[in-house]
Structures are given as structure tokens and as C-alpha cells.
Amino acid sequence: MSAPDLPFSGPDLHLSGVVLPEGEHRDLWVRDGRLTSEPVPGAETVSRGGWLLPGLVDAHCHVGIGRGGVFVEDRAGLREQALAERDAGVLALRDCGSPVDTRALDDEPDLPRILRAGRHIARTRRYLPGLAVELEPADLAAEVRVQARRGDGWVKLVGDWIDRSVGDLAPEWPADVLAEAIAAAHEEGARVTAHTFGTDALPDLVRAGIDCIEHGTGLTEDLVGEMATRGTAVVPTLVNVENFPGFAAAGEARFPTYASTMRRLYAQSGAVVRAAYEAGVPVFAGTDAGGGIEHGRIADEVRALCQAGLPAEAALAAASWSARTWLGLPGIEEGAPADLVVYDADPRADLDTLTRPVLRVLRGRVV
């Protein structure tokens, strides 16, 4: 299941420039909202000589969650969040859990495509209050089916969170329950991802066949190897990981062990991302926007991936053509919906270029 495509109406367009990732100079036309290499007589030339990139992707964000965890339920507020992403060149979002129904935005052709994961699913009193569907393990598989049917091909579990009885991060679900729940999602045609900060929850999630790990700061060498073998992806959300020292300081008085864990995870986060990439784990860019992180920060996440050790082109791919393929979205190809961003310089040579998109074409329309 995926977000619906809207009917297109608008002028025929012509663009020319260096098309990425191939790096070849080409002429492209847009007719009926779709890309073609066949010349379209009378098309309006809207770009010449730039670098044309498949629309960027934020693979982990939360439309509908505002500052301080406040829910944004009015249409104007939801639009504002989506437009901040679009202005940054992000033309597709994987909404990685939201308590707010954002489907009304699907009717607005000037907003990014949103692929939803339904609501977070967490153990009772083991996550941020009010954000997740909270339940006990016996009910997990049934709720996974509910959220799979509400989403656009994804389900989001909370894999670990602070356990006040032990004063540190701890897993939320038994191994057998995870295996049943992930199998149920796959039967529904959905993939499963999970929030994890620490290490202890990861072995059972990976062995249960989970499709993706969010954050993944607790990954070990053995787990990275198993994920590479299985094709399990990771979305490191390094923009969010920068908040770990603050999380540690806020919890230190009551939970000193937790604070120590968060500082350790922060210190090793870059090395974990580099090890995952070098082992062949698919790595994708997501900002965790919503709540404490502003929307529209995809360029910061791409630069953080590069600073962690990904080559610049790989970091760029993690937010563009590779991410689109992973999510089932086409790139710049014959007959594809015309979703692309134009830059005045090669972003592979200077990732700061991502902060300066000069043209965005979404659903075949200049926006």
C-alpha cells in the first residue's frame, strides 16, 4: 500500500542539466506530470545547466508532532511542517509513527508524498505519554495488523525505552512475540521498523526478521554483520543523536546508569554508522523531525552521515535515489512521476549545495 497519486494538470515542461546519479547531461521533458526523454513541442523551459537530483527523502520524520511533543491537528499546522520539508528539497516522507491522521494532506498536490507507518506501538507505560498505542505483549500481533492496514506499507514498534525498575534502557518485547508480530505485518504486506537506542533489544528484533532499525546506536559488530546478511536497513537519525547528551543530563539525577548509557551511545554513534555502511548494511537518511527537531533538516543529516564516514555520494544517495528505490519510489526515469530537485552546483562535490535548491518539481509541477 502507498500514498495515492493525484491527477495532474499543468503545463508541459523542459529541463536540461546533469542528471544524477548517472552524471550525464540530458534533456528531460514533463508531459502529463511524467518524465520523458521524447521532446514535447511547446514545453516551457524551466531549468538549464543545473544538476538534477531525484526528489530528496526524509526516511524518518513525524508529521503531526510539534515542539515539546504537542500534537498538531489543524490542517494549517500540518501543511507548515510538510512545506518546511518541501522547501528543503524533500519530496517524499516516511512518517515513522504519528498519532495524528494526516491523510487530508494527500489531497494537496503541492505537498510531499507521505508514506505512513501508522501509530507507534509500545509496551504499557514504556514510551512518551500519549504518543503510542500502548499494550501488553499478548496483544502485539493483533495491533500490528491494525496499524499495517492503516499505514502505507510500514509498521513502527518501540523496541526499547527506559525501564524504571532497572534504571536503564531495556527491551520491550519477548523474542517469540516479536517473531509473531513481524510475521503478521509481513502477511499484511507491510514492513516493520523499530526504535532502538541500546543494544539489548536488537538481537531479537533482527532475528525476528525486522526490516529496518531506527537510530541503532547500540549496534555491535556481530549485529551489523547479521543485518548485512539479511538486508536489514538502518536509519541512524544522527541529527537526533546529537540530543543524547541532553537526554543524559536530564535523567542523571534519577537514572545515573541510563545517563551513562546515553553518553556511551552518543560517543560511539559515528563509528556505528561507519561500520554498518562498510559491512554493506543499507543506510538511509532520516532526521526524526517532529517534537524537538525542526522539519526541513535533511541537508544536516546528509552531512552528518558523511562526517560519520560515508562517502559524500553515498550519503547523498541515502537521501535521494537509494532511499527512493528502498521505498518503492522511482527516480529520474522514463515515465516516472516528475519529482526532482535542481541545484546550481554538483551536490556530490559539496554537500552544502543541498541547502540551496533552485527549483523543485513535484508531481510534474514547479512548486
Q: CATH homologous superfamily for 13-53+331-366?
A: Urease, subunit C, domain 1 (2.30.40.10)
Give the residue range(s) of CATH 2.30.40.10 domains in the chain.
13-53+331-366
Given a cut of 80, whether residue 40 has pLDDT beyond it is: yes
Say which DSSP state 345 is in: S
Name the residue among 273, 276, 266 with its Cα closest to residue 224. Answer: 276
Q: Report d(CA 209, CA 194) in Å as an integer.
A: 11
155, 185 Cβ separation under 8 angstroms: yes
pLDDT per residue as tens digits for the range 48-105 = 999 999 999 999 999 999 988 889 989 999 999 999 999 999 999 999 999 999 999 9
- What is the pLDDT at residue 222? 98
Encoded amino acid at 338, one letter: A
| pLDDT tens sequence across 318-366 | 999 999 999 999 999 999 999 999 999 999 999 999 999 999 999 999 9
**What's the chain's average pLDDT?**
96
Q: Are strands 168-171 and 160-163 parallel, antiparallel or unpaired?
A: antiparallel
What's the whole-number mean pLDDT along residues 226-245? Answer: 98
The segment(s) of the chain belonging to CATH 3.20.20.140 are 119-326
The three three-digit cell numbers of residue 13, written as one number: 515542461
Cα–Cα dist 136/122, whole Å:
8
Task: Report helix, strand or coil for 48.
Answer: strand
119-326 CATH pick, 1.10.287.110, 3.90.1150.10, 3.40.50.620, 3.20.20.140: 3.20.20.140
Whether the pLDDT of residue 166 is over 60: the answer is yes
> Which strands sit side by side in the sheet containing 212-215, from one edge to the other?
133-135, 120-123, 154-158, 191-196, 212-215, 233-235
| Pairwise CA distance, residues 201 & 259, whole Å | 18
